[in-house]
Structure 1
């Protein structure tokens, strides 16, 4: 689990709370139900109105994924593909049907099954690229939804402030309440800005980053399985796939682990 989202959001809200306390204010003065209901309720409502029902449901359904932030390490994918390449060279492409049945990755399962079935390499590339684009587009749609909420929230906060100030102007005959009423009116703007920059936009950016990482992993699998279909050596496959990944995302043992299967295969052939 990657805790950066939770830690970042908590620190952001903690900074606001610290500022209020250091200035001698009261947290309760910011926790006013009316502006919070308006900002959060109206923001979600207009976000709902800007798309389709399933878009909203899928976006909020992706929140646990954003919180967990789990992505498969590229090194693990490379090692798995190197092992599959070694097996394919020793036992033939038909043996990959067993690997397809064992893997939990739907994308890899589909790719290996098509190789075992004898699908042409060009047709397989087109199929996998279409599946990849569809899967990533669905993830990016959720990210876009929360970024849309982040754009609406500050303006809705201003709407709440204008509404509250209208009530203030209606009660100018009671000057002793003006200070409190004006301060309460600006709470709506505050929550509009806070919800956008502390919640909606970070959620959108987080999901966008996860979509990017997933796309990179799927591209690794795509290029790996096509190379396996063409009979590439496992050592060369490991080097080719490692070159597609930034160095900081690979451990120092990568070259050793990717080279070992091929060495074993050569020893058996000798």
Structure 2
């Protein structure tokens, strides 16, 4: 389980609620003021409807398949994968590629299983590379679709919240006969904005970002796997394979850091 998602949700939602209660000296009866059926319908139903307009159903199916990424954590990392590939290479050099047949059925990593099966079957190097690269690309497209939908919801829901607030204010301005009732009515109108902004920034935008971060890491691991499997097929020395993959990992991580630094610098220039 990815504990950071759970902790983040608790801290984010808890902080908002506790801050709201603190303004009222922790009077729990104030929590009722956070509920409004009208704003709920406008923001939640309207927000989902607007998102449906922008994406085909097939993209939503892809998005649903990415939800598990938000709350689960892979039990392996880059170093584990490199060490495992080196061990498989050692086994193949000692007993031959056919000795990897059992690993092709039992390995916990889907891409390694598929790649080993292709290697054991004697498929050509370029064909294996194309198949595994396409597999990685297709998985990346699924993750990208999920992230895009969450990001779209992060932009649409606050707008629907503002729409709900404007509609509420229009209703209030039509009848100003009771000045004492204006305060509660105006407060109720702003519930829609609160829903839109809170859910966009506490859920949808962070969800989209987490999917992108995890997808980038998984793609990096898959690229190491593909390179390692091709090296195993070529009969390279296990020690050389391990060293090569470690160097490639460092290059990828350094390249990622350089991109992040460039993005930060660009934002600073724009500001």
- TM-score relative to the length of structure 1: 0.86
Does the Cα contact within 8 Å between 2:66 and 2:142 map onto a contact in 1?
no
Structure 2: distance between partners of 1:136 and 1:109: 19
Deviates more, 1:209-218 or 1:68-77: 68-77
Q: Secondary structure at the match of 2:205?
A: helix
Q: Which residue of the partner structure matches residue 164 of structure 2?
A: 160
Q: Which residue of the partner structure matches residue 196 of structure 1?
A: 200
Q: Which residue of the partner structure matches residue 48 of structure 1?
A: 52
Q: Is the counterpart of residue 119 in structure 1 residue 134 in structure 2? A: no
Structure 2: distance between partners of 1:62 and 1:131: 16
Q: Can you give the 5+ residue segments of structure 1 that lack an aligned partner in the other structure?
A: 250-270
Deviates more, 1:11-20 or 1:226-235: 11-20
Partner residue of 2:143 out of 124, 139, 142? 139
Q: CA deviation at 1:246?
A: 5.0
Q: How does 1:160-239 map to 2 (within 5 A)?
A: 160-239=164-243
Structure 1: distance between partners of 2:134 and 2:236: 24
Q: Is the counterpart of residue 22 in structure 1 residue 16 in structure 2? A: no
Q: Secondary structure at the match of 2:162?
A: helix
Q: Which residue of the partner structure matches residue 32 of structure 1?
A: 36
Structure 2: distance between partners of 1:223 and 1:198: 38
Please list the CA deviations of residues 223-265 of structure 1 after superposition, one character each: whole Å capped at 9, or x if unmatched. Answer: 1001111111111111222223359x9xxxxxxxxxxxxxxxx
Q: CA deviation at 1:100?
A: 0.8
Q: Secondary structure at the match of 1:173?
A: coil
- TM-score relative to the length of structure 2: 0.85
Structure 2: distance between partners of 1:63 and 1:28: 30
Deviates more, 1:66-75 or 1:83-92: 66-75
Q: What is the number of equivalent residue pairs in this alignment? A: 248
Structure 1: distance between partners of 2:75 and 2:215: 10
Q: Secondary structure at the match of 2:102?
A: helix
Partner residue of 2:246 out of 242, 259, 267? 242
Partner residue of 2:103 out of 89, 96, 99? 99
Change (3 A) 1:71 1:156: farther
Q: CA deviation at 1:196?
A: 0.5
Q: Can you give the 5+ residue segments of structure 2 that lack an aligned partner in the other structure?
A: 254-271
Q: Secondary structure at the match of 1:243?
A: helix
Does the Cα contact within 8 Å between 2:104 and 2:112 map onto a contact in 1?
yes
RMSD of the TM alignment (CA)?
1.9
Q: Is the counterpart of residue 67 in structure 1 residue 38 in structure 2? A: no
Q: CA deviation at 1:157?
A: 0.5
Q: CA deviation at 1:122?
A: 1.9
